[in-house]
């Protein structure tokens, strides 16, 4: 099966990278509260107490109807050091697998050693998603896939309309200097309604939280280059009932590595 072959190759890459890659900023691989904007920490603390009023002091509601929210996540220092680390890996001789067929320039973060970081991040974000998306497994997120995307003239410039293989997605801009490249969201009920298009302008360190089945894409970047972390969070409680991609009841098979949230 293609999935089993992919898992086997992924495990081999991860083993090789773990044994041979020397990070530039090794401290990044263990999540620490100092990485976070203080406003993000306040949002998380308010979420733990189910204090929506306090949360909304630091959250921008991009669309109440579409349930799209934006808030500060990482510090500028973290973003700068993270990009430095990603470029260091890109320029190394390590094997690389791209995130998906739509993004030709990016890195699967679990393959280069960010597993513990990502699990800790998912547990923190689930405090927020439990408030906004309880009906979509917001409190039952139990796996994740995270990767970087990189937009630059001569490389990937934009991203066509799509939805994510996730229950909940957190998209965080980590740099650099750029113009254009806005994120756009479509009305899921009528994707041809141009008057309902919602545009979101990226800001370094800031994330946008939305449902995985929300139709969205990225406008062409006009100058500079943009890096984002895309964090897909999944709930086996939700997707064991219906596959988010084909909308059918899934037929579960064992895999060598982490699955796509089916447990």
- Domains parsed from the chain with CATH numbers: 35-235 (2.60.120.620)
Task: Give the residue, 114 or 100, on which the prediction is more confident.
Answer: 114
Task: Give the residue, 100 or 109, on which the prediction is more confident.
Answer: 109
**201/80 Cα distance (integer angstroms):** 19
Average pLDDT score over residue span 256-260: 56
**63/89 Cα distance (integer angstroms):** 36
Which one, of 217, 206, 226, lies nearest residue 69 by Cα? 206
At residue 170 the predicted structure's pLDDT band, cuts being 50, 70 and 90, is very high
Sheet of strand 198-200, all strands in order from the earlier edge strand to the far edge: 159-162, 216-218, 183-185, 198-200
**Inter-residue long-range contacts of 239-245, CB under 8 Å, 24+ positions, other chains counted:** 239/167, 244/163, 244/165, 244/166, 244/167, 244/212, 244/213, 245/165
Has residue 7 got a pLDDT over 80?
no
Average pLDDT score over residue span 162-191: 86
pTM over 0.75: yes
What's the token pair of residue 22?
């020397």
pLDDT the model gives residue 261:
54
At residue 8 the predicted structure's pLDDT band, cuts being 50, 70 and 90, is confident
- For residue 19, the Cα-to-chain-centroid distance in whole angstroms is 26
Task: Give the residue, 181 or 38, on which the prediction is more confident.
Answer: 38
**221/157 Cα distance (integer angstroms):** 5
Has residue 173 got a pLDDT over 90?
yes
202-250: pLDDT as tens digits? 999 999 999 999 998 888 888 899 999 999 999 988 888 877 667 777 7
Has residue 6 got a pLDDT over 80?
no
**8/20 Cα distance (integer angstroms):** 19
pLDDT the model gives residue 247:
72
Mean pLDDT, the chain, integer: 88
Has residue 137 got a pLDDT over 60?
yes
Percent of the chain surpassing pLDDT 90: 62
């Amino acid at each position: 099966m293609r999935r089993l072959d992919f898992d086997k190759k992924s495990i081999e890459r991860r083993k090789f990278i773990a044994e041979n890659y020397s990070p530039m900023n090794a401290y990044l691989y263990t999540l620490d509260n100092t990485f976070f904007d203080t406003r993000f920490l306040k949002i998380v603390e308010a979420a733990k107490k189910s204090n929506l009023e306090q949360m909304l002091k630091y959250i921008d509601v991009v669309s109440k109807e579409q349930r799209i929210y934006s808030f500060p996540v990482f510090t500028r220092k973290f973003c700068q050091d993270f990009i430095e680390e990603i470029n260091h890996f890109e320029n190394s001789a390590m094997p690389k697998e791209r995130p998906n067929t739509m993004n030709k320039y990016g890195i699967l973060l679990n393959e280069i050693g960010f597993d513990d970081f990502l699990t800790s991040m998912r547990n923190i974000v689930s405090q927020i998603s439990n408030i906004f998306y309880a009906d979509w497994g917001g409190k039952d997120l139990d796996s994740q896939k995270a990767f970087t995307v990189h937009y630059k003239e001569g490389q990937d410039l934009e991203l066509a309309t799509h939805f994510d293989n996730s229950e909940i997605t957190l998209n965080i801009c980590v740099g650099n200097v750029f113009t254009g490249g806005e994120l756009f969201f479509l009305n899921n009920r009528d994707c041809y309604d141009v008057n309902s298009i919602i545009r979101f302008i990226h800001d370094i360190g800031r994330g946008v939280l939305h449902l995985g089945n929300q139709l969205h894409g990225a406008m062409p970047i006009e100058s500079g280059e943009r890096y984002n972390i895309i964090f897909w969070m999944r709930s086996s409680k939700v997707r064991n009932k219906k596959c988010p991609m084909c909308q059918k009841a899934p037929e579960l098979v064992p895999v060598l590595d982490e699955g796509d949230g089916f447990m």
